[in-house]
Structure 1
Amino acid sequence: MATAIEVNKQSVKQLLETGKEHKFVIPEYQRPYAWTDEQIQTLFDDLVEYTGNNNESTYFLGTIVSYENENREQEIIDGQQRLTSLFLLLRAIYTKLDSMTETKEVRNFKRQIESALWQQDELTAEVDFDKTLIESRVMRDKGNITFSNILKQGTYEIGAKDNYSLNYKLFQELIEKFATNEPELFFWFTRNLLNKAILLPITADSQDTALTIFSTLNDRGLALSDADIFKAKIYNRLDLMEKADFIEQWQQLDEDAQDANESIQKLFYYYMFYLRALENDRNTTTPGVRKYYSRNNFEQLYKDDVIKNLTSILNLWIVINNNVEIEEDWSKNVKVKQILDSLTSYPNEFWKYPVVIYYLKHKESQKFDEMFLQFLKKLLATLAARYVVTPTINAVKRGILNLNAEVVNSPTPKFDFPNVDEKEFKDKVKVAHRNTVRMLLKVLAYEKQQELLPDRWEIEHILPQKWQSSYFPSSSEEEVKKIVEHIGNKIPFEKKLNIVASNGYFKKKQESYKKSKVIALLNLSNQHSDWGLDEIRERDIRISDELLIIFNEWGLNQLQFSIQDDSKPMPTAEDLKKIDELRSKGFI
């Protein structure tokens, strides 16, 4: 069946008048009105400049994409922000005209604006100010009523902070100033806005067609995200009662996602990796979110468990990002949260996909928190060690896609990553890439820490980055500069305390160190009376040994792992010897 699209260039007045036959509707799934004062100012200034240049050519305002819904309304898919602003601007002009002495010009432009904003009697042209030609139905948006009242009454509540009121107030102020300073140009400005400013309405035969058109256009305002389009798709397939429930669920999901510093868009992205894993898709090329979900006529969107699974994924991120507990035992396991916190400092997002998949697939299993902890440890050991040796995305990309597919088949999946050479790892740890240092310091700190690290901490250079050259007479400036940046000279330290400690030497900073809640820093402060290049070199060695012991305990270079009752497997005799040595030096 052929797709029908109607495109007709129209002036603002011509387009808005079509609302008399087919009312403009901003549907439930659209975003709330969000134009800023800067965008309002830009629109107004552009029209003023166009008028001042006495230009008889037309002024293009952009496109409006819509389709005629089952109620014969013009449902706006794209351009709602611009269209709403034009209604507010014309209402502000009308309010100004209504306050002026009635002249031929005033009467003329009042009649023209009346025809563009409100329904009129077909015989008498009498205006019904209670029947506007546009209605916002954005779900759970109190601004819908505000917008309607502004158009009906031409006033706003004093002190109101919503965008409709603020932008209408700004339009009124701009118009008042312009009409006072340029009274004659004010009428030409109104004439140009109504009859010379051009919109390009694109009317589609269905919502699907309209969404397809939208996806190819660059909206000057706030574009719909893929998630907004998915919302429209799902919403359009539901019956009346289901729509009401869906709106509530979606709004709650959106609010909770924002509170967790996530978005529904990201949730769909994470969920895509889970669905790809179920399909055994190990392709390293990641498809676009909209392209992926549009396959087979959006069949994945229409499954009953979509919102449930998105909510579950969000619960995971609520725990990770907000450091709170939910009604699931694993979220109360400090060790689990410590490993997750360490993973958040991994240099890219590849760690997130197998974590989401593991959680979504196995969270209902018995002893899930034990399983999850073992999995997370092995994942962190593998990814951290690989990145230390090869600090690039491609070092783990294929392994992650393979792991994703393995996770859905087993709680003890295969880790098909290239082995890490232990000597190379130990050599490179001391000069670890800056992207990995924070993660490695967390791993070390959590071996001693019984809770999460303080919320705001910085990487402390124990020997300051700025030093007096006389302090190390036998070492060159270049040598000291390099050693100061070794991992052996770095440790977590609360930002507030770090500011107080400033760039002093070790003895001067010890008083600040003693106030820290970072156990590793307290231990170091108590066990050293001074700190110089030799201490850094020694700690470099100890850190590389300790990290390798930890990562080996967690399953580094092992293809698979088994679920242990004890969260740590028994160390070997060689490990015990190294642990005793580390303990004697104050590192454990």
Structure 2
Amino acid sequence: MATTNIDVNKQNVVDLLKSGKDHPFIIPEYQRPYAWSDDEIITLFDDLWEFSIERTTSESAKTYFLGSIVSFENDQGEKEIIDGQQRITSLFLLLRAVYTKLESEENKTKEINNFISKIQPALWLEDELTGEVDKTKTLLRSEVATDQGNEILRRILETGQTEKDAKDNYSHNFNKFVELYENKAVDNAMHMFQFINALLNYSILLPISADNQDTALTIFSTLNNRGLPLSDADIFKSLIYKKLTAGEKKSFAHKWKELEAEASKHGETIQSLFNYHMFYLRACDGDVKTTTSGVRKYFTEKGKNRLKPEIIDTLADSLNLWKVIRSGEILANESWSENKDILKVLDILVAYNNEFWKYPTIIYYNQHKDDPEFEGLFLKFLRKLCVLLVTRYLESPSISAVKGTVLKLNAAIIKTPEPEFVAGFKADTSEEDAMSLIVTPPRTMVRMLLKILAYDNQNQSELLPDKWEIEHIFPQKWDTSFFTLDSDETNKTLEHIGNKIPLEKPMNIRASNNYFDRKKEQYSKSAIAITQDFGKSNRVNWIPTDIKLRDKEITDQLTSLFAKWVDEYEPTPVPGVKPVPTPEQLEQIRQLRELGFI
């Protein structure tokens, strides 16, 4: 078993930054842009100022802990910062601001000269013989792929100046440090030396240095509680970025940043897009194994070269599907994106309680969207997929119930827009069992079933409102003096599918825990047709007996609808290719043979 080396040794600011002369600090390509704002900058400065005062008045204030810095030494001997890039960048800017102010003093006291000599080797390389510093050789360098300020940071650390009217974070925060320094120096000139001394010698950091990137990332994920941890996508970005020419890097960084913003706008991330793409590539390879490596390991597998620059365009194309699903966008030259029947089925699938509806959906879209018959084929496919996912989950509410089937379906989709796959309850599921499964579904399936019922109403021409809740027609709490019912039996019946309808959240609040006759008015105002029908019906009361009658109606409605959707999905025979019978068909053939019919 390989051993992992981790060095942990607390250091003050000046000693830690000076260690950059042997192993320069680098903010790698996969890190996010520098993002500290005034809040963090002012807090850092004020905390250090208060600490420096406490040191002169209290024996207990010996050191001030600034946090940890997680890094690893790369092949070039540089310290790649995995965690703490915002903090260490801000400390470099603060020290540069302090140095700039000290250097500008006309009357350089012993204290000023002392601190100048202390700060110089913490910012720049020194000549070992003369002790002179080369300000063009800073001990911190940023190579963040999507940050246009890398050169600005280098220039600020070198010159101690910013461009006029600069809007970037590096310039703004450097100027803010200068401003904070000047404001304090006006009223507390003598204490300023105590502040610099406390900053350099008594402010403590905890550098954690790992021997490789994976170990550093693991440490970061364990320690991190301040923000989003680095994702696999951040690593992929750097691996692609390193392969590009100088001219290509700018275009790639722009595309990445644009895709990141677009994905976020539509409720996705670049990380999730990579995940979907992994399932697409696995389907292309015919990989149907249910146990596989994670996304990072898959894309960085040696010898596979799966991270090519053009992948950014592929991910952008696949995002189009989620633009439609998440935001209702209409795509140019893709008429399916405004097909209400397709949009309704997609809205139903969104309510499925795990990710396995997404993979066949995105694979089908990516593989067949250019087919002239795509719109009609996609609708039939989605409906049968919906039947598969609902029935399998009702029978066994777990990922394992559908995982293997979905992975096989993914591979089949690559070969044809009309793949063979099982849908419907298992062959040995009786009508009585099917009814029981529908009547008392898992809580996680109720919302999906209500969507199916709502969209099956011929008057539901539009998509359901974004915010609706599950309404219990017979209230979950009832007045026992008004209804004399068996509590245990009634409580069970209340959770039947027959007692539930979708209702907009504001109306559900107003409907409260009232009885049916008092809620009808709210129902009648609903934009959801199935609920509106209840409100406009001639019913006066709603009791457990009515729930059981509706249970049967819903079961018949759903089984009939599922059968219809399955029957509509009839793959067109491919000339010269003999159809492969499904496992159910093979079992039927075996039974007929045993009975002597064939």
Q: CA 1:129–1:300 in 2, change beyond 3 Å: closer, same or farther?
A: closer
Q: Is 1:336 equivalent to 2:336 in the alignment?
A: no
> Which residue of 451, 454, 458 corresponds with 1:442?
451
Q: Is 1:513 equivalent to 2:515 in the alignment?
A: no
Task: Report the Cα distance in structure 2 between the residues aligned to 1:454 and 1:156, rounded to whole angstroms.
Answer: 50
CA offsets, 1:481-521, max 9 Å, x none? 22222211111111122223322222222222222110111
Q: Show the counterpart of 1:218.
A: 220
1:193 to partner: Cα distance: 5.0
Task: Report the Cα distance in structure 2 between the residues aligned to 1:424 and 1:43, rounded to whole angstroms.
Answer: 68
Q: Is 1:352 equivalent to 2:352 in the alignment?
A: no
Task: Report the Cα distance in structure 1 between the residues aligned to 2:188 and 2:554, rounded to whole angstroms.
Answer: 73
Q: Is 1:31 equivalent to 2:32 in the alignment?
A: yes
Task: Report the Cα distance in structure 2 between the residues aligned to 1:127 and 1:346, rounded to whole angstroms.
Answer: 62
Q: CA 1:395–1:27 in 2, change beyond 3 Å: closer, same or farther?
A: closer
1:158 to partner: Cα distance: 11
Q: Show the counterpart of 1:318.
A: 323
Task: Report the Cα distance in structure 2 between the residues aligned to 1:160 and 1:66, rounded to whole angstroms.
Answer: 33
SS for the counterpart of 2:469 is: strand
State how many pairs are aligned: 547
TM-score by length of 1: 0.78
SS for the counterpart of 2:415 is: coil
Structure 2 runs not aligned, ≥5 long: 574-598
Q: Show the counterpart of 1:498.
A: 508
Percent identical residues: 41
Matches within 5 A, 1:55-454: 61-65=68-72, 67=74, 79-91=84-96, 104-117=110-123, 133-139=139-145, 141=147, 165=172, 186=195, 188-193=197-202, 197=205, 199=207, 211=213, 214-218=216-220, 220=223, 223-302=229-308, 305-327=310-332, 328-416=334-422, 418-419=426-427, 420-448=429-457, 449-454=460-465
Q: Is 1:536 equivalent to 2:547 in the alignment?
A: yes
1:268 to partner: Cα distance: 0.7
Instruction: Specify the code of the residue in structure 2 equivalent to 1:31.
Output: R
SS for the counterpart of 1:470 is: coil
Instruction: Specify the code of the residue in structure 1 equivalent to 2:300.
Output: S
> Which residue of 490, 499, 511 corresponds with 1:480?
490
Q: Is the 8 A contact 2:318 2:362 kept in 1?
A: yes
Matches within 5 A, 1:38-49: none
Task: Report the Cα distance in structure 2 between the residues aligned to 1:550 and 1:261, rounded to whole angstroms.
Answer: 31
Q: Show the counterpart of 1:13.
A: 14
Q: Is the 8 A contact 2:99 2:119 kept in 1?
A: yes
Task: Report the Cα distance in structure 2 between the residues aligned to 1:232 and 1:171, rounded to whole angstroms.
Answer: 33
SS for the counterpart of 2:501 is: strand
1:23 to partner: Cα distance: 6.8
Task: Report the Cα distance in structure 2 between the residues aligned to 1:467 and 1:182, rounded to whole angstroms.
Answer: 71
CA offsets, 1:530-561, max 9 Å, x none? 232222221111111111111111118x9x73
Instruction: Specify the code of the residue in structure 2 equivalent to 1:482.
Output: K
Structure 1 runs not aligned, ≥5 long: 205-209, 565-588
Task: Report the Cα distance in structure 1 between the residues aligned to 2:78 and 2:362, rounded to whole angstroms.
Answer: 41
Task: Report the Cα distance in structure 2 between the residues aligned to 1:459 and 1:6, rounded to whole angstroms.
Answer: 52
Q: Is 1:469 equivalent to 2:486 in the alignment?
A: no
Q: Is the 8 A contact 1:150 1:156 kept in 2?
A: no
Q: Is the 8 A contact 1:343 1:351 kept in 2?
A: yes
1:384 to partner: Cα distance: 0.7
1:63 to partner: Cα distance: 3.3
Instruction: Specify the code of the residue in structure 1 equivalent to 2:416.
Output: S
Q: Is 1:548 equivalent to 2:549 in the alignment?
A: no
Q: Is the 8 A contact 1:431 1:486 kept in 2?
A: yes
Q: CA 1:451–1:117 in 2, change beyond 3 Å: closer, same or farther?
A: same
1:198 to partner: Cα distance: 5.8
Q: Is the 8 A contact 2:145 2:241 kept in 1?
A: no
SS for the counterpart of 1:16 is: helix
1:439 to partner: Cα distance: 0.3
Q: Show the counterpart of 1:575.
A: none
Instruction: Specify the code of the residue in structure 2 equivalent to 1:309.
Output: T
1:124 to partner: Cα distance: 8.9
Task: Report the Cα distance in structure 2 between the residues aligned to 1:335 and 1:367, rounded to whole angstroms.
Answer: 15
SS for the counterpart of 1:285 is: coil
Q: Is the 8 A contact 2:36 2:169 kept in 1?
A: no
Q: CA 1:200–1:499 in 2, change beyond 3 Å: closer, same or farther?
A: closer
Task: Report the Cα distance in structure 2 between the residues aligned to 1:424 and 1:39, rounded to whole angstroms.
Answer: 64
Q: Is the 8 A contact 1:462 1:531 kept in 2?
A: no
RMSD over equivalenced CA pairs, Å: 4.4
CA offsets, 1:301-328, max 9 Å, x none? 12x6522321222111111111221121
Q: Show the counterpart of 2:466.
A: 455
Matches within 5 A, 1:556-575: 561-562=570-571
Q: Show the counterpart of 1:572.
A: none
Q: Is the 8 A contact 2:469 2:502 kept in 1?
A: yes
